[in-house]
Structure 1
Amino acid sequence: MIAPLSPTTPHAFDPPLSLTVNGDSVTVATLDEALSFAERHPLPEGDYEGMIRRLQGSHSAEAMTEAANAFRWWAQSNGLTR
């Protein structure tokens, strides 16, 4: 199991990302939510492993921005964004 980020992770997506997976709509606003979503939906397009590493290692403002961008790109690559 991948360790969660701090529960105080600030909103990384402003506005929050609206994703659709298997017909269900999901809103992702924080890196914690992004990590949780990605763990539940390990889709093949994009650099999944690299994105997970970025989400797990996002402790500075720069790393958080990179993690948010990696998640957004991964979600777009897998056709999850609306």
Structure 2
Amino acid sequence: MNPRPLDQDGHSGDRGRTSPPWRRVHLEADKGPADEDTAAVDKYGRLHGVAALRVADTSILPTAPAVFIGELIAHAIRHNLH
């Protein structure tokens, strides 16, 4: 594989035509009872189908601050809510 020649600024000719190495992904883990097809977690952040695993990130409440979600799930764990 031959490298592409660089321009005077040190950039290849592909500049502006390639996508970045990262992509923004918008994922949501819907909350709800296990029998709902779209629900991934319950209201306490427990992942359906996986024992002893909770989700405590912004995917469960996309519009809430991450600190709030962390406190909410920590409260559920501390008080053994289920």
TM over 0.5: no
- Point out which structure has higher relative CO (alpha carbons under 8 A, 6+ apart): 1
TM-score when scaled to structure 2? 0.28
Considering fraction of residues, name the structure with more strand.
Answer: 1
Larger Rg: 2
TM-score when scaled to structure 1? 0.28
